[in-house]
Amino acid sequence: MTVAPCPVLQDALLQRYVGQGASYTDCFVASVSAPVALPQFISAFYGSSVFGAERWILSLATRRRISADAIAALAAGDSTIFAVWHVEARLPEQILLKDKGGYTASWLGVAHDGTGTRVMLGSAIISQRGRLPLAVRSIIPLHRAYSKTLLRSAVKQLE
C-alpha cells in the first residue's frame, strides 16, 4: 500500500483553508480495493490502533473517555462533537472537523473510482497572525509522518 500526497480537490471542504488564513495545509491519499463509505472510513480512522494512543492522550487531557460509541456517533452523523473537535462541515463523502480553539482542522474524504476507493486525509494548521511560530513549523515533518501512519492504519482496517 502506498500513501501519497494528494492535491486538495477543488470541491474538498478543506479547500476553504488553502491560502485563506491557513499557514499550512496537506492532503494524503491511499487506495482501498473495495467500496468504502465515509462512515466506514471515519470508524476505521478514529478506531485504528495508531489513533488509539492519541485517543488515550486526549481522554487524559479532557478528563473524558473517548469511547467506541463516540466514534460510531461521529461516523453515523449523529454527533457534531468528537473529543476536542466539532464538525465544521459534512457532505456524503467528506467531513471537516475543527478543534475547539480554532487552530487546526482535519479532513477525511472518500472518492470512488469504479474499482475501489481513494481514502484521503488532510489537515490545516490555521495561523491567527498569518505566520506559524517556529516551534509549530519545526514539527510539521513529524505531523506529516504521523498523518501517513494514521492513514495506513485506517486502510489496514478497511482491507
Q: What is the pLDDT of residues 68-123, one digit of tens each?
A: 899 999 999 999 999 889 999 999 999 999 999 888 999 999 999 888 999 999 99
Q: Which of 50, 39, 71, 52 shows the shortest CA–CA distance to 3? A: 50
**Sign of the Cα pseudo-torsion (112, 113, 117, 119, in order):** negative
Question: What is residue 21's DSSP assignment?
Answer: T
* CATH number, domain with residue 139: 3.30.530
The total domain count for the chain is 1
Cell of 136: 509549530
Question: What is residue 17's DSSP assignment?
Answer: G
Can you give the residue range of the structural domain that contains 24?
A: 4-158
C-alpha count within 13 angstroms, C-beta hemisphere, residue 91: 11
Predicted confidence at residue 65, as pLDDT, reads: 82
Overall pTM surpassing 0.75 (yes/no): yes
Higher-pLDDT residue of 1, 121? 121
